[in-house]
Amino acid sequence: MIIVMKAGADKREKEEVLKKIKELGYTPHVIHGTTRDVIGAIGDERGKEALQSIESMNGVESVVPILQPYKLASKEVMKESSTIRISDSVSIGGKNIVIMAGPCSVESEKQIIDSAIAVKEAGAHVLRGGAFKPRTSPYSFQGLEEDGLKLLAKARELTGLPIVTEVINPETADLVAEYADILQIGARNSQNFALLKKVGQLKRPVLLKRGMAMTIQELLMSAEYILSEGNQSVILCERGIRTFETATRNTLDLSAIPALRSRTHLPVVIDPSHGTGNHHYVGPMSLAAIAGGADGLIIEVHPDPEHATSDGPQSLKPAKFAELMVKMRRVAEAVDRTV
């Protein structure tokens, strides 16, 4: 159920409502809107009629059921899009489109620092780079792990760019959260429910990627795992799904943008690098994603893609990325956004 508070409801009235929800055996989740707060009361669906009595409490406008199975992720809970704060100067979900860029993996100090300086100069807002890598083969490079996190922190110190990096299991999640500004959950882990619950308990925004064979509804249910643990900062990411097509690494489902937009208030990011697997296709799909309403993009950029330890063929060289940034700004302007 959603308890919609009146626009002028005061703190005491809200506290009384929270207390009542708990008394009835439900967990309250406060969602701050621009004009009013709404409180999601989450728990056993069977006895939810008991919550209806809250409607007569002071400061309450209405109590309405949430029809979707993903309760807190649902647009029913909040009509307007949510804005998620990443750092003092970067937020996602507003008018500005957030560009996250950097190499697939952190490989060396020089590689990550050069990448950070290049993407910052071109105008990116967030530095990406994997320190823990979930590889399909156990024989492939698995990442520099904590040393990689330290190098990312160094790159942040130098450029001021917040960092997004992947967390691959609950055991190392606290460690990654010490360094990262955004915790990335990769496509291979997006239904790892123990991991989703763990990051739900951490106080860091989460970039949740869509699994290779995941429906939009399943993606939203995974987001719900994180939200229901108390972490309201979830960013969704479409990175291509597996289809019969072999001309691209994955099939980048750009229709996920409006499909998600109509179902959820959470911001939507597009990953054209993993979505296509080919650096020639990254530019056109980035522009299409912006035209289609994406709130952000995550793009692989490497100073020397030919020698990258992972995903070289889909990585842009810094000069190409800088050219793309210029084009992205032009398309953003056409759809009343900024980059």
Residue 225 DSSP SS3: helix
Q: Which of ligand PEP, Mn ion, none interacts with 186 (beta carbon under 5 to 8 A by kind)?
A: ligand PEP
Q: Is 17 helix (H, G, I), strand (E, B) or coil?
A: helix
H or E segment and range at residue 218: helix 216-227
- Please choose, out of 23-31, 59-67, 185-193, 241-249, the segment that lies near ligand PEP by the rule CB under 6 A: 185-193
Q: Check residue 200 for interaction with ligand PEP (CB under 6 A).
A: no
DSSP string, 295-310: SEEEEEB-SSGGG-SS
Query: Which 8-state DSSP code applies to residue 134?
Result: -
Least Å distance, CB 169 to ligand PEP, is 14
| Dihedral (CA of 309, 248, 320, 132) sign | negative
- From the list 274, 279, 302, 337, which residue makes contact with ligand PEP (rule: CB under 6 A)? 274
**CB neighbours (10 Å) of residue 96?**
17
What is the C-alpha to C-alpha distance for residues 231 and 191, in angstroms, rounded to an integer? 17
- Minimum distance between the CB of residue 1 and ligand PEP, rounded to whole angstroms? 35
Cα separations in angstroms, 254 against 67, 70, 73:
26, 21, 20
Instruction: Closer to ligand PEP by CB, 75 or 210: give it.
Output: 210
Among 41, 54, 187, 226, binds ligand PEP (CB under 6 A): 187
Q: State which residue, 62 or 108, has the beta carbon closest to Mn ion.
A: 108
Q: Which residues bind Mn ion (CB under 5 A)?
A: 104, 311
209 binds, among ligand PEP, Mn ion, none (CB under 5 to 8 A by kind): ligand PEP
Choose, by CB under 6 A, the member of 40, 102, 186, 277 that binds ligand PEP: 186
Binding site residues, ligand PEP, CB under 6 A: 104, 130, 186-188, 209, 239, 271, 274
